[in-house]
Structure 1
Amino acid sequence: MKKIAIFAKVHDPRCVGIAEELIEWLVAKGLSPMVESHLAKHVGSAYSAERQDIQEEADLVVVLGGDGTLISVARLVGDRQVPILGVNLGSLGFLTEITLAEMYPALERCLKGDYEVSGRMMLRVSLHREGEEIEGHQVLNDVVINKGALARIIDLETEVDGRYLSTFKADGLIISTPTGSTGYSLSANGPIVHPQLDCLLMTPICPHTLTNRPIVVAGDALISITLQSVNEDVFLTLDGQVGFELKHGDQICIQRAEHQTRLVQSRSKDYFEVLRTKLKWGER
C-alpha cells in the first residue's frame, strides 16, 4: 500500500487536527497521502486529491469521523473494493469501530498486509421513468421510498423476482442490506440482521394494514417497486444522503451489487460487542 486516502468531517476541529497528524505520519513513512480536496483546504495540505482520483488510485482509505462519513466513502470506492479503515471520533459507530488509540497500530498492520476485513453487501439501485433508466447508484445501507410531510399514504406495488408480493399502503418502504438493518429499518421495527448474512430486508414504514410486517428475502433477489400514487410528494433516498423526487409510474429496481464494501476490522471488539454497547443492551 502506497497511496492512502484520507476523509474526515471537515466541520469537526478534532477530526481536522487528527488528519493533520496523520498526514505527517504517512509522509514520514514514505507513503503518498491523498487528502480529499475539501479536507485539504481545511488543513492546508499540499496533498489534495479529487474524489475521482481517490476512486481510481487509492490503496487504502482512512475515514475520520462517524458512520455517515464512512457510508459516503463506501459509495465512492465500492467498485474497487478498496479497504476502508473507519476511525470513530464520537459515540461508538456500527461501522467506524476502530478507536483513535487503535488507529496507528491498525495502520501499521494494514501496511504489512496483516489485517482482516469484513465484506459488506452493497445494493445496485436504478430508477426507471417511462421505460428509461434515469438514475443508477450503489448504496451500503438502505434505499428508502417515503412520502412528503403533507402527503397522504402512498401505494407501492412490489414484486420480487418478477412475482407480485404486495401493494404496500404506507408512509413508505425501506429496502436495506444486513449492514443497514441497524439504521432506519431498525427504527421502523425491522429486525437486526448479522452483516455477513446474504439477504435483503423490506420494512414498511407505518403501514396502513397492520399485518404488513418486515420481510427478509434472498440476497440475489431482484426487488421492483412501482409508485402507484398520483399527485403526492414522494421521494427516493439513498443511504439518507442522496435523494430524488418520484413521479407516478416510476419504477425502482434494487438488487445486490457486484462488489462489496471492505471494512478493516478492529481486533479489540466484535460485532456483538458493538451491538451491546451501541444499543445499551443489559443496562437498567
Structure 2
Amino acid sequence: MKRVGIYAKRSNPDAVRVARELASWLEERGLEVFLEEELASQIGGCQGYTEGTIPAMVHLIIVLGGDGTLISVARLVGDLRTPILGVNLGSLGFLTEITLDKLYPVLEQVLAGQFTVSSRLMLEAVVRRAGQEVGRYLVLNDVVINKGALARIIDMEVNVDDDYLTTFKADGLIISTPTGSTAYNLAAGGPIVYPGLHCLVVSPICPHMLTNRPIIVSDEAIIKVEVKFHDEDVVFTADGQTGMPLQGGDVVEIRKSRSSTLLIKSPFKNYFEVLRTKLRWGER
C-alpha cells in the first residue's frame, strides 16, 4: 500500500482536522496521499483531485465521518474493489466501526498487510418508463419506493424472477441488502441479516394488510416493482442519497451488482459487538 485516498465529511470541523493530521502521518511514512478537491482546499498546502477519480488511483481509501459518508464513497469505488477503512468521528456506526482512538493502531496493522475485509454485496437498480431506461443506480444499503407527505397508499406489483409475489398496498417498499438491513429496513420492522449472507430483504412500509410481512429472497433473484398509482407523489431513492420521482407505470428492476464493497474489519470489534453497542442490547 503506497497510495492512500482520504475522504471526509467536510461539514465536520473535526473530520477536516483529522484529515490534515492523517495526511501528514501517512506522508511521514513515505505514502502518497490523495484528497478530493474541496477537502484539499480546506486543509491547504496540498493538491486536490476530482472525488470520482481517486478510487482508481489508490490502494486504500480512508473515510472520516459516518455511515452516510462511507456509503457515498462506496458508490464512487464501484467495481474497483479498493478496500475502505471507515472511521467514525461520532457515535459508533454499523459500517464505520473504527473509532478515532483506534485509527492509528489499526492503520499500522493495515499498512503492514495484517487485516481482513468484509465483502458487502451491492445492488444495481434500473428505472424504466414506457420500456425505456430513465435511471440507473448503484446501491450499497437499500432501494426505497416511498410516497410523498400528502400521497395516498401506493399499489406496487412485485415480481421475483418473473414469478408474481404480490401487490403491496403500503406507504412504500424497501429492497435491502444485508448491509442495509440495519437501516430503514430495521425501522420498518424488517429482520437484521448477517452481512455475509447471500440474500435480499423485501419489506413493505406500513402495509395496509396486516398479513403482509418482510420476505427474504436469494441475492441471485431479479426483483421488479411496478408502481400502479396515477396522480400521487411517489419517489425512488438509492441509499437515501440519490433518486428520482416516479410516474404511474414505472418499473424498478433490482438485481445484484457485479460490484461489491470491501470494508476493512476492526481487529478490536466483531459484528455482534457492534450490534450490541449500537442497538444497546442488554441495557435496562
TM interval, shorter chain, is over 0.9
**Structure 1 counterpart of 2:270, one-letter code:** D
CA apart distance, 1:44: 1.4
Q: Which residue of 2 aligns with 1:222?
A: 222
The answer as to 2:60 corresponding to 1:60 is yes
Q: Which residue of 2 aligns with 1:13?
A: 13
Q: Is the 8 A contact 2:5 2:55 kept in 1?
A: no
CA apart distance, 1:112: 2.1
Size of the aligned set, in residue pairs, is: 284
CA apart distance, 1:104: 1.5
SS of aligned partner of 2:54: helix
SS of aligned partner of 2:35: strand
Q: 1:253 to 1:36 in 2, by over 3 A?
A: same
Q: 1:45 to 1:179 in 2, by over 3 A?
A: farther
Q: Which residue of 1 aligns with 2:149?
A: 149
SS of aligned partner of 1:113: coil
**Structure 2 counterpart of 1:92, one-letter code:** L
Counterparts of 2:182 and 2:203, CA distance in 1: 12
CA apart distance, 1:130: 1.2
SS of aligned partner of 2:94: coil
**Structure 1 counterpart of 2:224, one-letter code:** S
- The Cα offsets for residues 108-134 of structure 1, whole Å up to 9 and x where unpaired, read as 222222110001111111111111112
**Structure 2 counterpart of 1:185, one-letter code:** N
Q: Is the 8 A contact 2:8 2:15 kept in 1?
A: yes
Q: Which residue of 1 aligns with 2:88?
A: 88
**Structure 2 counterpart of 1:203, one-letter code:** S
Q: Which residue of 1 aligns with 2:100?
A: 100
CA apart distance, 1:45: 4.0
Counterparts of 2:207 and 2:216, CA distance in 1: 17
Counterparts of 2:59 and 2:281, CA distance in 1: 37
Q: Which residue of 2 aligns with 1:113?
A: 113
SS of aligned partner of 1:173: strand
> What is the percentage of aligned positions where both structures have the same residue?
57
Higher alpha-carbon deviation: 255-264 or 34-43:
34-43
Q: 1:13 to 1:251 in 2, by over 3 A?
A: same
- TM-score normalized with structure 2 length: 0.98
Q: Is the 8 A contact 2:227 2:251 kept in 1?
A: yes
The answer as to 2:243 corresponding to 1:240 is no
**Structure 1 counterpart of 2:187, one-letter code:** S
CA apart distance, 1:55: 3.0
CA apart distance, 1:67: 0.4
Q: Is the 8 A contact 1:143 1:176 kept in 2?
A: yes
Q: What is the Cα-based RMSD across aligned positions, in Å?
A: 0.9
CA apart distance, 1:102: 1.7
Higher alpha-carbon deviation: 198-207 or 20-29:
20-29
Counterparts of 2:157 and 2:58, CA distance in 1: 41
CA apart distance, 1:42: 1.4
What residue ranges of structure 1 are gaps of 5+ in the alignment?
Answer: none
CA apart distance, 1:259: 2.1
Q: Is the 8 A contact 1:35 1:45 kept in 2?
A: no
Q: Which residue of 1 aligns with 2:172?
A: 172
CA apart distance, 1:219: 1.2
**Structure 2 counterpart of 1:17, one-letter code:** R
SS of aligned partner of 1:282: coil
Q: Is the 8 A contact 2:55 2:61 kept in 1?
A: no
- TM-score normalized with structure 1 length: 0.98
